[in-house]
Structure 1
Amino acid sequence: MSCNEVGRCTLHLEINVPINYDLLRSVHSWIYPDVQPVPEVTGPDYFGRLFRIKGKEFPLIIRQNAPGQRLEISTPVEDVAEKEVRLLLERILGLRKIMDSALSKMKRDPKLRQIAGSVKGIRPYVAESFYEALVKSIIQQQISYRSANVVTKRLILGLSNKSVFQGLDLYGFPSPVKIANYGVDGLGKFGIGYRTKYVHSLSSLVASGDIDLESLEDKSFSENLQVLGSIHGIGEWTIKAALIAGFGDLTVFPYGDLGIQNVMGALYNKGVRMTKAQVIEKSDEWGKEGPSILYLLMSAYVLELI
């Protein structure tokens, strides 16, 4: 712990990580370094944003000097307990996810061997809440991932709280109440397009307590499809994308995603986009590690490693 001249103290923590764990590559698998805040912000050796614990928002900065080295965490000591920070980061950063079997299978595939070496430090990074993941997934409908990040950035700058911590401007994700109260017309100025009504409808349901999104984590996909599919504008692709982005559930990988179809086509189909059936067939060849391998391939694609 350290305190400045006016008595404001900062809690410093260290967290051990899996072998080769790469903080920035894991986070940059979901966000672009040049399109920020979303609400994440990153630098040469850090990742930061505002998080919520027990309804209270607080700034947090995570640093890593090099892949495989422990994480150095800084946060205002008066705002949060050490145990809560550790539990939060283990979940958000996917530190308990085991990717060894998927990487081993990639190394045995001549087409994937080099990629495996580039993504060996990646663990599934997830959003702070399932609500955040679902809103982002709605925004991603029918547009490129980069374009979706640009739209999300506008939303963050327009509606998020900002806190300056250790000289960095840090942002959180807008609450369901704030987005619901902003209204459809207000949200429209952020360029969300036809999805504006979907985002507003979802936010209104969460804000009113009519749906508890965080309770869905332990539900089966069919149960989640039944609950979420009844909400206007939320279909199977959006639900699967959100379950990965919010809960780190790779078993529901959306094989019909054009991004993975293009990647697989480039690798295995002479540059011709694979069909959903072809992606499923190839994933099945990898057994239960198939969805994890597809996740790592999409990460490599976003990172421009392939």
Structure 2
Amino acid sequence: MKDSGFELPLPHPFDFQLCLNYMARSPFECLYTTDTLGVNRLVKVGVAKRLIRVTCPHGRMMQVQLLQGVSLAKEELEELTRYIRNWFDLDRDLEPFIQMSEGDPLLGQLIESFSGLRIVGIPDLFEALCWAIVGQQVNLTFAYKLKQRLTEHYGDAAEWEGVVYRMFPSPEQFASVSIESLLSLQLTRNKAMTILDVASRMTSGELSRERLLKLSDSESIDKELTKIRGIGPWTAQYVRMRCLGDQTALPIGDVGLQNAVKKMLGLNQKPTPSELRALFEQWPGWESYVTFYLWRTLY
């Protein structure tokens, strides 16, 4: 690596500013900091914590800088590269998606507004599951506060230039955490039990991102996730979309998605699940991206 950093080629289309806008949507985000040029984040690489900065200064290459000046071994570099490619969905060819929008009034509007926006992923399965769990049946602001409390109480941190950067805790860091401790953070008992169950399954190796990705189809993934008490269809679909890179994931029961479709189509009331499913049949294979872009219309 040159100067404690490296570059990644960008796919077309890719709009880093739209991705930054998405990441900056809440002032309560605790896992990274964004500015007009890039994003800083503390990530685990191998067994170490690494503070990185991601920018796209000329729009052609993504620059990744290790802010604390360390150098990475080959295996660490490969791991960090995979993380960033998953984070920004850099391996996705969006050209078929753009072609599908031609002549489609709704999709055409979305592409016009958000062309180059990638699904900003959550590459860590435990973080993705916990984020979906704490977000169940609460408003987004309170969900962020719960994530912040979990991160500050149990996650690792590093300081650089007077700023403290935090990392979402690993499943292993919940090994000695009690339900009562989680209740004191204002999680419900059911959510606390689910988080500890997921942590236990991941620590034992029963559940992992790699194991889920090896399953033959999306129904198998849904079945594997929803057998865990406290994880329903919405959570499974959300994790498939944000963590597993599944283009076909469709969180049909999502209120935000229903509101976005109501707004875009000028409906008098929110569409029913069956109406939503019928609507999405015209975009096979791109349900996740249509959902992600529809969510963006709400901001």
Letter in 2 for 1:16: P
Change (3 A) 1:27 1:158: farther
Whether the aligned pair in 2 keeps the contact of 1:130 and 1:246 (CA below 8 Å) is yes
Query: 2:29 pairs with 31, 36, 55, which one?
Result: 36
Segments of 5+ residues of structure 2 without an aligned counterpart are none
Matches within 5 A, 1:21-170: 21-26=14-19, 28-29=21-22, 32-37=25-30, 39-65=31-57, 68-75=59-66, 76-81=69-74, 82-106=77-101, 108-165=103-160, 168-170=163-165
Q: In structure 1, what residue type is equivalent to 2:22?
A: S
Aligned to 2:202: 206
Deviations 1:159-214 (A, max 9, x none): 22111246643221101111232221222232222412211221122223343343
5+ unaligned residues in a row in structure 1: which ranges?
3-9
Q: Quickly say closer, same or farther: Cα 1:208–1:289, change in 2 above 3 A.
A: closer
TM-score, with structure 2 as normaliser? 0.87
Identity percentage over the alignment? 20
Q: Does 2:246 correspond to 1:249?
A: yes
1:217-228 aligned at under 5 Å gives the runs: 217-219=213-215, 220-228=217-225
- Tell me: CA distance 1:30–1:63, structure 2 relative to 1, closer, same or farther (3 Å): closer
Residue 14, structure 1, aligned to residue 10, structure 2: no
Shift of residue 228, structure 1, vs aligned partner: 2.1
RMSD between aligned alpha carbons?
2.5
Amino acid at match of 1:23: F
- The structural deviation recorded for 1:259 is 1.2
The 1-side partners of 2:17 and 2:270 are apart by 29
How many aligned residue pairs are there?
293
SS of match in other structure, 1:29: helix
Quote the Cα distance in structure 1 between the aligned partners of 2:249 and 2:168.
Answer: 25
**Residue 189 of structure 1, aligned match among 184, 192, 199:** 184
Task: Indicate how the Cα distance of structure 1 residues 146 and 118 shifts in structure 2: closer, same or farther if over 3 A, else same.
Answer: farther
Contact 1:156 1:173 in 2 (8 A): yes
Deviation at 1:31, TM superposition (A): 6.0
Q: Which has the higher contact order (CA 8 A, sep 6+)?
A: 1
Q: Is the 8 A contact 1:133 1:245 kept in 2?
A: yes
